[in-house]
Amino acid sequence: GIQVEQSPPDLILQEGANSTLRCNFSDSVNNLQWFHQNPWGQLINLFYIPSGTKQNGRLSATTVATERYSLLYISSSQTTDSGVYFCAVEASGGSNYKLTFGKGTLLTVNP
């Protein structure tokens, strides 16, 4: 099946810093989503971005489908940004509905 790799696995920032999280995937995809799992365990949808670039406030994401990677940018980080960021993809063809998740990036933002 499709493989999803996220980097870095852990990231520690000071409040106000910027960061870039990366997601590589091994095959073509119909769907790519970024999630934030907050300290209470809830999965929050950040972006639905199978290709192109989107922005939402301090967050933006870019997916280059032809090169099989996506980037999540967090600017002016805040302590509430702490948590785990997951990339998940839906492979093209075959059983194209289940999301395959990466292992996540654990982000800690210190005040």
- Pick 7 or 50: Cβ nearer other proteins: 50
H helix count then E strand count, the chain: 0, 11
Q: Is 104 in the site for other proteins (CB under 8 A)?
A: yes
Task: Write down the residue that tokens 């099989």 correspond to.
Answer: 68
Q: What does the block give as tokens for 100?
A: 């395959």
CB 30 → other proteins: shortest distance, Å?
A: 5
- Pick 27 or 90: Cβ nearer other proteins: 90
Q: Is 48 in the site for other proteins (CB under 8 A)?
A: yes
Q: Is 106 in the site for other proteins (CB under 8 A)?
A: no
95: left (phi over 0), alpha (psi -120 to 50) or beta: beta
Three-state SS at 65: helix
Interface positions with other proteins (CB under 8 A): 30-31, 33, 35, 41-43, 45, 48, 50, 86, 88, 90, 95-104
